[in-house]
Amino acid sequence: MLSRTTVSALAPELRPLVDPAELRTRVVHFGLGAFHRAHQAVYTERAAALSGEPWGITAVAPRSARTARALREQDCLYSLTERRPDGNRCRVVGSVVDALAMGPDAEKVDALLMDPAVTVVTLTVTEKGYQRSPFSPVIERLATGLAARMRAGAPPVSVVSCDNMAGNGAVLKGVLRDFVQDCDWPDRSVILDRMAEAVAFPATVVDRIVPATSEADRAGALDALGLEDALPVTGEPYRQWVLEDSFAGPRPPWERDGALLVPDVTPYQLTKLRLLNGSHSALACLGMAAGLDTIAETMASDWGERLVRALCAEVSPTLPAGGPDPLSYADDLVVRFRNPAMRHLLRQIGTDGPLKVRERWLPALRELRGRGADTPVLELALAAWALPTQEPIPALLRSVGAADLADDDSLTAAVTDRLPALRAGRIEI
Ligand SMILES: NC(=O)c1ccc[n+]([C@@H]2O[C@H](COP(=O)([O-])OP(=O)(O)OC[C@H]3O[C@@H](n4cnc5c(N)ncnc54)[C@H](O)[C@@H]3O)[C@@H](O)[C@H]2O)c1
Ligand SMILES: O=P(O)(O)OC[C@@H](O)[C@@H](O)[C@H](O)[C@H](O)CO
């Protein structure tokens, strides 16, 4: 089994870039999913290796004590396999130094959130992790820990949402403040004032396609390492991290590993959400309607690439200036989505449809309709999303909080008109 002892016998190219024994917990991460392990943990590892600063991560599993235990059993080491069209590259990542289960280990989590050495908290808890009614347990734990930190007068901290949402920093700040406002702590207004001064919520754009780990991935890791790894991750070679340069205190020098620190992430955020995630969700809905399984398979159909390019062209006029060039972005997407080494399941991307559609399609659709522009590709995507629900389009749009679009008769008629062809398995772009 993978461990600090067994890893030292691996070939040098398979070993971590850092010795975890030399790291300290300076980052607390909520959400011990695949994405964190293939993205922020990788940037943090390289930042520590290149700077010599001991930036280690304690990862907190919000729901699964089993995941935290499994990671601890292998000394928090795990492998990352880059799936390249020309072959796989596997190596062990060493930046996670401890793993906790949020419920059972709540005291330890709170102690870390108060620790002056911890100056960064990151999150990958899906859109659901930010919900208000009721408040998600992650929000409760984080607010409680931050309040204790404020009471203790510990140094400022930056809390960084790494989930796919527009304005993710502001969303997180808003929900945490609402939680504090709603609770019965007698000192809640003092806490809110201190948080306003001592807690920063930089917005971020995170990008790397990381499919859920499969049994085949576990077997692949065993093959590459000669050691069992219960928690391997796989991902595409591409990765990007754009962060708002508004941290409240020390942070890992992620820019040493290529992260961009910018005054405003909005153009990058909207480009990514509307072009990449928007196309991803459209490919997922239409691909499933056509009986396909993966993104690469859907891209190999005679309409996959056309769908991506047409959606990007339709939505690009809504993007603010200052972000990536939409045409080259679409070219890159086609290459990334076509990667035959990746097995990204359409049904994984299709989960939590209502939450994703709200972020990925509706803001652009609203903006385009407001300008009187045609929106045939978004209409087709909406029809494919609606197909399995069998709900009338206006009702479906209302259920995702888009009453304005539900009242747009020409839109709902256009979407409804697309349904018969889809039912017959025809994708007409
Ligand atoms: N996988 C990717 O390609 C990718 C790329 C960019 C961004 N992201 C972001 O990262 C998030 C996590 O993706 P992943 O691939 O790690 O998924 P995952 O399923 O491997 O992990 C999801 C994590 O979110 C937590 N979670 C789920 N529901 C929750 C809830 N209701 N409250 C609190 N925590 C909850 C889980 O406990 C787990 O730690 C995505 O939702 C997305 O916002 C993922
Ligand atoms: O991770 P989700 O479930 O929010 O969305 C599925 C994909 O669209 C997403 O994970 C992309 O792969 C990712 O955003 C690429 O950076």
Residues of the chain with pLDDT under 50: none
One-letter amino acid at 309 equals R
What pLDDT was estimated at residue 208?
98
In terms of Cα–Cα distance, which of 82, 35, 85 is closest to 59?
A: 35
User: 281: CA distance to ligand 2 center in Å?
Assistant: 9
Q: How far is the CA of 108 from the centre of ligand 1 (A)?
A: 22
Q: What is the spatial distance between Cα 288 and Cα 286, in angstroms, rounded to a whole number?
A: 5
How many other CB atoms are found less than 10 A from the CB of residue 72? 14
Mean pLDDT of the residues in the chain? 97
pLDDT recorded at residue 300? 97
Is the CB–ligand 2 distance for residue 164 below 6 Å?
yes
**Distance between Cα 206 and ligand 1 center (Å):** 12
Helix axes 137-152, 188-198, angle to 10 degrees: 90
Q: How would you list the strands of the sheet with 199-200, edge to edge?
A: 96-101, 55-61, 24-30, 120-123, 157-161, 199-200
pLDDT at res. 381: 98
Q: Which residue, by CA, sits nearest to atom 26 of ligand 1?
A: 125
pLDDT score of 178: 98
What local confidence, expressed as pLDDT, does residue 259 receive? 98
**Residue 275: CB within 6 Å of ligand 2?**
no
pLDDT value of position 19: 97
The pLDDT score that the predictor gives to residue 45 is 98
Domains and CATH numbers, the chain: 4-262 (3.40.50.720), 266-423 (1.10.1040.10)
- pLDDT tens for 306-357 read 999 999 999 999 999 999 999 999 999 999 999 999 999 999 999 998 999 9
Cα separation values, 193 from 139, 179, 200, Å: 18, 14, 13
pLDDT for the residue 395: 97
ipTM: 0.98
What does the pLDDT read at residue 63?
Answer: 96
Supply the residue whose CA is at minimum distance from atom 9 of ligand 1: 163
Which residue's alpha carbon is at the smallest distance from atom 6 of ligand 1?
A: 207
Name the DSSP class of 377. Answer: H
Give 206-220 pLDDT, tens digit per residue.
999 999 999 999 999
Ligand with the closest atom to the CA of 339: 2
Q: Which atom of ligand 2 is nearest to the CA of 281?
A: 8
Q: Could you give phi then psi for residue 241, rounded to 5 degrees?
A: -145, 120
Which helix (H) or strand (E) element contains residue 137? helix 137-152
For ligand 2, atom 3: residue with the closest CA: 349
